[in-house]
Amino acid sequence: MKIAITATGDTLTSKLDNRFGRCSYFAIYDPETNNTKFILNPNKEAAEGAGPAAVQMIASQGVKQIISGEFGSKVRSILDDLNIQMVMFTDPEKSIQEIVSLMVVK
């Protein structure tokens, strides 16, 4: 099950970005391969509809869980319809690597 994490940058030392639709990057973690790839969020500067557009992009990556600091109201119903789990993470000081480590079942 691929996991998307909203990120401030494109490295494992980047921090969690609290914004879902307007985050800078999405870190896509694949537990089957233990690899993380980073995707620039093209919707970050959109005048409107950044959240729904980000959901569609993330869904196209095969993600089944998204970790972010917050999710907008428009996004919640779309994620529910797509059976993508939302996980709110409240520690913006954690790096992407630390969050991935917390998600990996040992």
Sketch out the chain's domains with CATH numbers.
2-103 (3.30.420.130)
Look up residue 16 and give its DSSP letter: B
Look up residue 35 and give its DSSP letter: E
Under 8 Å CB-to-CB from 28, ≥6 apart: which residues?
Answer: 2, 3, 4, 36, 37, 38, 39, 61, 63
Distance CA 29, CA 1 (A): 9
Distance CA 93, CA 76 (A): 24
List, for residues 46-100, the tens digit of each pLDDT value. 888 999 999 999 999 999 999 999 998 889 999 999 999 999 998 889 999 999 9
**pTM of the prediction?**
0.93
Residue 64 CA, chain-centre distance (Å), reads 10
